[in-house]
Amino acid sequence: MIPWLGRDRPNQPLTPFPPLSTALRDPNGLLCAGGGLSVERLLAAYRRGIFPWFSAGEPLLWWSPDPRMVLFPAEFKPSRSLRRELKKPYRIRLDHDFSAVIHACAHTPRRDQNGTWIVDKMKQAYLRLHERGWAHSVEVWEEDAATQTLIGGLYGVAIGRMFFGESMFTRKSNASKIAIAHLIRYLETHEFGMIDCQMHTPHLASLGAREIPRDEFIARLETLCAAPVMPGLWRDE
């Protein structure tokens, strides 16, 4: 059994998350259920190394796996083929059409998934985060004289100098990897220290991501979330 959080209510204190040490080992990181998806709840979760993940028909579930998959910007390893792709004349934009990115992440088919975990209430929650300046998108656009087409991108949450990756999509080969490469360049320029990738995938590992113990992740997270950020972040290019 896992704890259930009391329902989030406006202008009332949030029910606190249980200690991370109580998270299950199987399934790895399942911590608790319930609560809500308010901006305040989500920010409290991210600052503690917790994220929501559930499918349609399931209760709201909160996770903090151990170990944690992360990508340090300095350890990014673009392949030779990706370096070639980065030379193509795509336009990279920040926060230009966040809604389109999260919609595409929810509806672009994936080989290893049936359906999506980005259900409607998750989309609405992250749109609220975006409106409040916490959630951001990196977008890859293919342009010609008459049209602009969104071919790939990603979104996540930025707190201090910490970025929490959430989801990505691609409609053209390597477009999501192009978005990741530009995100990493951008974060490195602005002295971000770490990208949370949540759980291990071969795709992320191929780019240089690796697992670290949860205790180490939390220690780094606390420092980075408290770090001041440079002015002018996330302005569309």
Summarised one tens digit per residue, pLDDT across range 189-228 is 999 999 999 999 998 999 999 999 999 999 999 999 999 9
Which pLDDT belongs to residue 109? 53
Pull the structure tokens for residue 159: 């707190």
Same domain, 114 and 193: yes
Which pLDDT belongs to residue 2? 94
Same domain, 171 and 101: yes
Distance (Å, whole) CA 100 – CA 148: 13
Same domain, 155 and 76: yes
Same domain, 40 and 109: no
What domain range includes position 58? 4-66
Q: What are phi and psi of 211, to 5 degrees?
A: -90, 140
Same domain, 84 and 10: no
Same domain, 28 and 118: no
CATH number of the domain where residue 80 is located: 3.40.630.70
DSSP per-residue string spanning 141-193? EEE-SS-EEEEEEEEEEEETTEEEEEEEEESSTTHHHHHHHHHHHHHHHTT--
Distance (Å, whole) CA 106 – CA 113: 11
Smallest CA-to-CA distance from 182 within 83, 70, 46, 81 is with 83
When divided into structural domains, the chain yields a total of 2
Q: Examine residue 158 and state whether it is found in any structural domain, yes or no.
A: yes
Give the bridge partners for 170, in sequence order. Answer: 152
Distance (Å, whole) CA 219 – CA 193: 12
**Residue segments in the chain with a per-residue pLDDT below the cut of 50:** 110-115
Which pLDDT belongs to residue 113? 47
Summarised one tens digit per residue, pLDDT across range 106-130 is 987 544 444 467 899 999 999 999 9
